[in-house]
Amino acid sequence: MKIILDERVTDWLQGKLQPQDRLYLDFEDGIGPFANTEISCRLDLSFRLIITGKNYPEKGLEVYNIPVETSVGVFHIKESSLPYFEEENFLTFSPQMALRLKGASGILADNIPLLRMSQEQAGVKE
């Protein structure tokens, strides 16, 4: 499986990343440390692109066990999200400048938010 970022997305993400950041293409299925809810019954696919710093706690991140190399580094994804991906997936901007994940069959997810998760959000105090 591949995730190909178009040039505009690559440039935009590189401007958001700090050294040693980790990237997670999170499928919102209620599993993992970034879950907002345990409800996973949806009519549409929902993904989020999450950035964590090098000191983000490892607890719970083992569900992101599939590394996918991209032009900005490795995206970590959950095995549970694999059925929704195609062999080649493209991360682009929509005409409204929202992140969009698409494949040969069409749009897989639209309006993907980019979030930076901190140690404080994970409940870790320095």
> What is the average per-residue pLDDT within 116-126?
63
- Check if the beta carbon of residue 87 is closer than 8 Å to that of residue 1: yes
Q: How confident is the model at residue 32 (pLDDT cuts 50, 70, 90)?
A: confident
Cα separation, 39 vs 88, whole angstroms: 28
Statement: the pTM of the whole predicted model exceeds 0.95 = no
CATH architecture of residue range(s) 2-117: Sandwich (2.60)
- Check if the beta carbon of residue 32 is closer than 8 Å to that of residue 8: no
Which pLDDT score, from 0 to 100, does residue 18 have? 93
Domain ranges for the chain, please list them.
2-117
Q: How confident is the model at residue 36 (pLDDT cuts 50, 70, 90)?
A: low
Cα separation, 44 vs 91, whole angstroms: 17
Q: How confident is the model at residue 28 (pLDDT cuts 50, 70, 90)?
A: confident
HSE-up of residue 29 (Cα within 13 Å, Cβ side): 15
